[in-house]
Amino acid sequence: MPRASQLLHPPQTPAPLRPAATLLLLRDSATGPEVLMTRRSTQASFAPGAYVFPGGTIDAQDAQGLACAQRRDGQTDDTLITALAAVRESFEELGVLLARRPDGAWVTASDLATADRHAPLWPQCQARQWRLATDEVFVLARWITDRDLPRRFDVPFLVARMPEGQTPIADDREQFEPVWVRPADALARHERGDFFMVYPTVKTLERLQAYASVQALLDACASHDDPLWTSCPRAGWLAGKEARYMEHEPPFGELALTCPDGQIAHHLDWQSEQPVALLKNVQRLTAPNPGFMTGPGTNSYLVGSPDGGYIAIDPGPADAAHVERLWRAAGGDIRHIVCTHSHPDHAPGAALLQAWCARHGSAPPILGLPSASTARAHSQFAPDRVLADGERLCLRQSDGICHTLQAIHTPGHAANHLCLVLEEDGLLFSGDHILNGSTTVIDPPDGDMDAYLRSLDRLDAACEAYGIEFILPAHGYVLGAARQAIAQLKQHRLQREAKVAQAMRRLPHGTLEDWVRLAYDDVPERLWPVAQRSLLAHVQRLQSLGAVQP
């Protein structure tokens, strides 16, 4: 974890969480599944005027409903109480009750006419011998309210099929205008501005679009003990507006690093004019070289402080204006220039930055690993000094605070690739070995897939040893959940390799062009020429392992 002294914003304590439950009632229609939604009162303290699914906070009295609750195998008291709360709320708000009569039939509208929506529900169910169909309620997701909001809830989103013979009727106090709507239609109306929904509702509906029937969704939920997803979103600024992101989305890790307590203070717009502070001792300046292979541009980093000087990581392409901005961001005090590898969007700026420093003071050494004989002509690189595997560069402030970068040799993307660990803050500067939003190209002969995978294992070990939670790539936003990101990346590579092996066995005399159509059938065809480079790396690894015939 980053040191508290290096965080950009003072700590703040998010509002406490309140347990709640939400129920998505579903039915099939000729055009696909529909979900029951209702509009909240414009006077409501939470999400006024929004279209929502019925639900609310869990009451202490909800445990009393256990006496008349149906239980399936594996349902604990806690999960049942959550389901009971959602069932109760749907009854109070919409007059819909997931309950069966003693003969097993659904409770009907005429049955419900004898019940009082404003009186305690559980005694009424017991008196009528109604059994609550909580065994037919499944967990879809778990949403935890964003850290920046003043009222916060921990809310399982549950799903169930709408009971037969009932009609939703809003209470016209908290809820209004019950409506059956297809997820796609609700999202389209929200986009037009006439169906306001809060972020978790929108994201839930987006995922519901993947299911062709109610049963398909219920089966998916029934096959997991845990929610299909859990999220506590984070917010930042993008294009002048608040923007929220879930854990799997690229900006999430950067917001977790810069604003760990949920402060909405970080700007996510990509630009090349000003450095972006990630910690007090880490700045990122993105080179103005966006493109197909570079994404928003190459990230140059400055590690250090005005007191102890800076280390520049990956000065980028030979762009004089970018180099000058990097020098100015460091206040002219650059002690070392480190290149993670020799590709033309990373290393050429090193000599320009060194020369600029020399004209205004002293010339810092350029450190890294020399390019191997396998490197292409445009990737030749010779540092002033070789940065050995495991070597540490330390900047010390006058108050004794240190910023120590350890080099880790990570061949794979390039034979001379290295990553850097900022030991005191648990950060990994990953160069091109790990990117955010895409997988790096492994281009033989300088690229080697087997070496790449072994380097991932080394980085995972470093993350464990130094408590690394954040990865700072050369392209894209900061990645969070570092070890999970590495594991997912390795799994993705091995799954792709399995498809390559399958393609080679299917077409044993095929070419790379033949195999890429099969192994990368989930990738747009326009990307296949680039994908062929990594495919060749997979082929070479498979052949070296004896998994396929050369």
Residue 41 is predicted with a pLDDT of 82
What confidence tier does 530 reach under pLDDT thresholds 50, 70, 90? Answer: very high
Task: Give 202's DSSP letter.
Answer: H
Residue 1 is predicted with a pLDDT of 87
CA distance 440 to 146: 32
All domains of the chain in start order, with CATH? 17-232 (3.90.79.10), 270-480 (3.60.15.10), 494-545 (no CATH)
In the chain, the amino acid numbered 260 is P
What confidence tier does 176 reach under pLDDT thresholds 50, 70, 90? Answer: confident
Mean pLDDT of all residues in 382-394: 97
Residue 171 is predicted with a pLDDT of 84
Residue 548 is predicted with a pLDDT of 82
Decide if 100 contacts 106 (C-beta within 8 A). Answer: yes
| Percent of the chain residues past pLDDT 70, beyond the cut | 100
266-318 residue pLDDT tens: 999 999 999 999 999 999 999 999 998 899 999 999 999 999 999 999 999 99
For 355-360, the CB contacts below 8 A with 24+ separation are 356/323, 356/324, 356/327, 357/327, 357/332, 360/327, 360/332
94-127 residue pLDDT tens: 999 999 999 999 999 999 999 999 899 999 999 9
454-467 residue pLDDT tens: 999 999 999 999 99
Helix residue ranges, H only, 243-385: 252-258, 320-329, 349-359
* Residue 182 CB neighbour total at 10 angstroms: 17
Mean pLDDT of all residues in 461-476: 97
Residue 47 is predicted with a pLDDT of 76
Cis amide bond preceding 54, omega within 30: no
Residue 249: name the closest of 292, 203, 293, 209 by CA.
203
**Beta strands of 326-462 (E only): which ranges?**
334-338, 366-368, 385-386, 392-396, 402-409, 418-422, 427-431
CA 331 remoteness from chain centre: 34
What confidence tier does 239 reach under pLDDT thresholds 50, 70, 90? Answer: very high
Mean pLDDT of the chain: 95
425-447 residue pLDDT tens: 999 999 999 999 899 999 999 99
